[in-house]
Structure 1
Amino acid sequence: MTGKTAGTGADKGAGWMRPDPADDGSRMLFGGDWTVDGASALDRTLKDFSGAGHGKIAFDLSAVSRLDSAGAWMLFRAAHRLSGGGTPVEFVNVSEQHRPLLEIVGKLDDVAVPKADRANALVRFLARVGEGAFDFGKKGLELLNFVGLVAVAFGRSAIRPNRLRPNALITQIERTGLDALPIVGLLSFLVGVVLAYLMSDQLRKFGAEVFTVNLVGLSMFREVAVLITAIVVAGRSGSAFTAQIGTMKVNEEIDAMGTLGLDPVEVLVLPRVLALMITLPFLAFFADIMGVLGGGVMTVLALDLSPSQFVTALKGAVDIDDFVVGLVKAPVHAYIIAIVGCYEGLKVQRTAESVGHQTTVSVVESVFLVIVATALFSIFFSILGV
């Protein structure tokens, strides 16, 4: 057994511990002030005490003059450590003044020395998967509840159109539609160029490069143009919705709306949802035109076709159904993006860090749900044979 004395005679009232000289070392005497003021030195002394060589040790607190929760916590932590190593500890000669505090601290679970996590990697992985599944389900229910709130706001506005705010709606149409035309057009044009180049390069190996026009037209009209547009809008407008509403929540503007009797869903969410559902189909149409234009330029250059030949081949490859299939998805994608962006904005806490976090979450969730919706649409149209 090793034992050290904490404090010296010069340290008036300082806590100390030492073996009982009248005993064989199975009793430790404690005295002085066991308070937070000397916690650092006392804690080091207790950690150095191993208690080895004894079946049982008694902590004699008869000489303790002052004891607070920090001192009691250190004593119980040392007792738990020794007990865990096979040396039980008993507290003896506790004064009536200190007994209530020791009883309270002794009932706390966190005084015990933490045990190492013995779970293997597979168990930890499964635990994390299960936790993620529960969080995913909870998030889905909350988002579904928010969809219901927005539906109620739509219903109220349909019954009483004067509740709509045309100025806010027009402003959001400009921000989400007109201001997004350059980036959507440029990106769609470049995607069309890349698709045409890759398809013509691969089909040339089989002598079927003439079908490049078919693939470019079908892919752009049915899937690629509207999906690229939705992803761009999710990163541009969806994140803006979250940041704008989140900043208003940080500045307590949303609380002020409630004080004035205004519904934040009706004032902030509804104009954004309606504006995006109006503008995204037009953006998708613009993306169709720019994507086919980019694919046409690349096809003309790669296959030595004339522009009139490309247009003729495009007419024979696609019809109005392919065009409609793509545009039908646009309002659904717009609804998803706007709902998620506004929902995450209203979830922002009153910190700048929360605004950034929820904005990131908003973009990730929007893109994920848009891709899921695209897959479901593909299955649905396949079943219908469209």
Structure 2
Amino acid sequence: MASASRPGSATLTRDAAGQRLMLAGDWTLAHYTDLQRRAGELAGAIDGDTVIDTHRLGAMDTSGAFVVAELLGSVRTRQLARDDVLPAARRALLQTVGDAMDTYCTGTKRKRDAGFVDMLERIGRALEGTWKQTATLLAFIGITLQGFLATAWRPRRWRVTSLVAHIEQTGLDAVPILALLSFMVGAVVAFLGSTALASYGASVFTVDLIGFAFLREFGVLLTAILLAGRTASAFTAQIGSMKAREEIDAIRTLGLDPVELLVLPRVLALLVALPLLTFIAMIAGIAGGGVVCMAVLKMSPSMFLSMFQSDISLGQFLVGIVKAPLFAFMIGVIGCMEGFKVSGSAQSVGEHTTSAVVQSIFVVILLDALAALFYMEMGW
């Protein structure tokens, strides 16, 4: 009949001969919790001169050997494994656990990165990310143009209902906020112009300032930035939500093209809506500036319109309005592209919506700056 299991114990005693640790009982998994608690109580009390007494040690398995190794450390555990009092199997077990403590249970010190090297690494990653994003955008532009050319000569594949609905959402619904914003910006530009030109006795040329500013730059730029924040984010959220609910996979399963079904109506709607909104923004901005000229400069409406007609040519309007389709195309493409990049979670939808707004505004301002340089070199 097998003998009853004796709980393992560790007793630390001190006498004239020095400090002695007596290990007794069974150091097995059944007593692991009590043994670990006792090892914690003795932690730090055992030094290199402590004598380890194993004469009363009973059974031992891997869990018990691990508690011994935690209590004594890997070096003392391997020394204990050479004690002839212990059976050969137990010595081999202690030797294996001691070696494993050194191999797998030692922490690794994190290498500190040099500040300059870390900065270069961050710059490199940012440039790599920018290059990948640019390549992805160019590829998506190519896919969109390919889809447009594939459906342009096939009227049966036109999504007229979707196109009209998106024109209403992106264009008609944006008219009030855009007109109010442009009117206020026009008033601000007129205030600043009249104040700055008053010191030169040329306050009357505030009319020219308002005309040039809104026809060439502010009208199309304010419209594009507003739609970048309002419409690009909406496109990303709509397509991203469909991607998260696997609706786009269902569209492909039905044999339909997601680009033709989702991207083209949105991009074409912006191509129609943004030039019209730009014209409204120009009119509202000029009206805001005209109100300020009448209130501050005491200029009559007929004089304001007469100066505007004589000093501002039609070419200034064309220089501004010709940028609208390009801005509309880029805003629509970026918004739809970020929607298709959503991975499936709500957090991903939010991240790509933010990315779409930031990218759209950045691209709009970059293209506007390049256009300004081009116009300057051409003398327009």
TM-score computed with the length of structure 1 as normaliser: 0.77
After superposition, the C-alpha distances for 1:123-169 in whole angstroms (9 at most, x for unaligned) are 33332222111111111111221112112111211242322211111
Residue 272 of structure 1 deviates from its aligned partner by 0.2
Residue 102 of structure 1 deviates from its aligned partner by 5.2
Q: Which amino acid aligns with 1:384?
A: M
CA distance in 1, matches of 2:295, 2:6: 92
Tell me what 1:126 maps to: 120
Structure 1 residues 138, 96: closer, same or farther in 2, change over 3 A?
A: farther
Residue 33 of structure 1 deviates from its aligned partner by 5.8
2:299 is paired with a residue of what secondary structure?
coil
CA distance in 2, matches of 1:307, 1:90: 103
Q: Which amino acid aligns with 1:126?
A: L
Structure 1 residues 288, 119: closer, same or farther in 2, change over 3 A?
A: same
CA distance in 2, matches of 1:222, 1:53: 85
Residue 118 of structure 1 deviates from its aligned partner by 2.6
2:235 is paired with a residue of what secondary structure?
helix
Task: Please tell me whether Structure 1 or Structure 2 has the larger radius of gyration of its CA atoms.
Answer: 2
Q: Which amino acid aligns with 1:278?
A: V
CA distance in 2, matches of 1:191, 1:32: 82
Tell me what 2:347 maps to: 353
Please give the residue correspondences for 1:330-345 in structure 2 after superposition, counting only pairs within 5 Å. Answer: 330-345=324-339
Among candidates 274, 278, 286, match of residue 280 of structure 1 = 274
Residue 112 of structure 1 deviates from its aligned partner by 5.2
CA distance in 2, matches of 1:219, 1:247: 39
Among candidates 359, 371, 374, match of residue 368 of structure 2 = 374
Residue 114 of structure 1 deviates from its aligned partner by 4.0
Asked if residue 66 in structure 1 is aligned to residue 96 in structure 2, the reply is: no
Among candidates 254, 265, 268, match of residue 260 of structure 1 = 254
CA distance in 2, matches of 1:323, 1:50: 88
CA distance in 2, matches of 1:310, 1:140: 46
2:344 is paired with a residue of what secondary structure?
coil
Residue 341 of structure 1 deviates from its aligned partner by 0.6
Identity %: 42
Please give the residue correspondences for 1:204-219 in structure 2 after superposition, counting only pairs within 5 Å. Answer: 204-219=198-213
After superposition, the C-alpha distances for 1:191-234 in whole angstroms (9 at most, x for unaligned) are 10010001101111221111111111001000011000001111
CA distance in 1, matches of 2:80, 2:375: 76
Structure 1 residues 206, 243: closer, same or farther in 2, change over 3 A?
A: same
Residue 51 of structure 1 deviates from its aligned partner by 10
Q: Which amino acid aligns with 2:208?
A: N
2:182 is paired with a residue of what secondary structure?
helix
Q: Is the contact between residue 67 and residue 98 of structure 1 (CA under 8 Å) also seen in structure 2?
A: no
Structure 1 residues 12, 176: closer, same or farther in 2, change over 3 A?
A: farther
After superposition, the C-alpha distances for 1:332-381 in whole angstroms (9 at most, x for unaligned) are 11111101111111111211122112111111111011000100111111
User: How many residues align structurally?
Assistant: 349
After superposition, the C-alpha distances for 1:64-122 in whole angstroms (9 at most, x for unaligned) are 62369xx79x98xx87xx9xxxx9x99975549979x959x95x8xx652424533433
Q: Which amino acid aligns with 1:337?
A: I
Residue 318 of structure 1 deviates from its aligned partner by 1.4
Q: Which amino acid aligns with 2:242?
A: M
Please give the residue correspondences for 1:152-167 in structure 2 after superposition, counting only pairs within 5 Å. Answer: 152-167=146-161
Q: Is the contact between residue 184 and residue 288 of structure 2 (CA under 8 Å) also seen in structure 1?
A: yes
CA distance in 2, matches of 1:368, 1:177: 21
Q: Which amino acid aligns with 1:264?
A: P
Tell me what 1:59 maps to: none
Q: Is the contact between residue 195 and residue 295 of structure 1 (CA under 8 Å) also seen in structure 2?
A: yes
Q: Is the contact between residue 281 and residue 330 of structure 1 (CA under 8 Å) also seen in structure 2?
A: yes
Q: Is the contact between residue 62 and residue 93 of structure 2 (CA under 8 Å) also seen in structure 1?
A: no
Structure 1 residues 211, 118: closer, same or farther in 2, change over 3 A?
A: same
Structure 1 residues 304, 140: closer, same or farther in 2, change over 3 A?
A: same
Q: Which amino acid aligns with 2:347?
A: E
Tell me what 2:133 maps to: 139
Q: Is the contact between residue 190 and residue 206 of structure 2 (CA under 8 Å) also seen in structure 1?
A: yes
Structure 1 residues 138, 306: closer, same or farther in 2, change over 3 A?
A: same
Structure 1 residues 286, 50: closer, same or farther in 2, change over 3 A?
A: farther
CA distance in 1, matches of 2:323, 2:184: 22
Q: Which amino acid aligns with 2:232?
A: G
Among candidates 279, 288, 293, match of residue 299 of structure 1 = 293
Tell me what 2:179 maps to: 185
Structure 1 residues 201, 34: closer, same or farther in 2, change over 3 A?
A: farther
CA distance in 2, matches of 1:385, 1:94: 90
Among candidates 227, 230, 247, match of residue 233 of structure 1 = 227
CA distance in 2, matches of 1:149, 1:223: 30
